[in-house]
Amino acid sequence: MSKKKGLSAEEKRARMMEIFFETKDVFQLKDMEKIAPKEKGITAMSVKEVLQSLVDDGMVDCERIGTSNYYWAFPSKALHARKRKLEVLESQLSEGSQKHTNLQKSIEKAKIGRHETEERTMLAKELSSLRDQREQLKTEVEKYKECDPQVVEEIRQANKVAKEAANRWTG
């Protein structure tokens, strides 16, 4: 016996949209619960859930008239939505390419006057060596910091205060 495999949520959504596009009609929920299982193989239990997800995504329109909810979707609406999305994406693309060209121009402007010359190379090496020397001197200063007269005086003051406090409590 072979088991019948269920449809994925996306397959159900696509099949439900086919119902709307093929019939170009307006339906109530109870109508969809009858039509979808017969024509497209969507289980009656999941019709409401699938229909609600399509409404939430704006692919199917829903209007409450009196006590009933009516559902519809036309192919032209989907086409218009895709066209709007395409226009938005094209405008974003043109803005991005404009920014790209502006950045390329600013890079070219920045490169003007920065040709690799012998003097520039020598100055860059000197700058690098001076930075290394500064780092070495900083580490040396840190190493001898405890011998700094100001630091030694601060330590003496702290010891004096601690000694007075100890004498006060034990004396």
pLDDT in tens, 69-113: 999 988 888 788 889 999 999 999 999 999 999 999 998 888 777
Give the model confidence (pLDDT) of 23-35 as tens digits: 888 999 899 899 9
- The answer to whether position 89 is within a domain reads no
Indicate which CATH number applies to the domain containing 66: 1.10.10.10
Report yes or no on 47 lying in a domain: yes
In total, how many domains does the chain have? 1
**Residue 1 has what pLDDT?**
40
In a domain, 97, yes or no: no
Which three-class secondary structure state does DSSP give residue 64? strand
Q: Is residue 150 part of a domain?
A: no
Is position 45 within any domain?
A: yes
Q: Residue holding tokens 């709307």?
A: 20
d(CA 171, CA 47): 90
Is 56 contained in some domain? yes
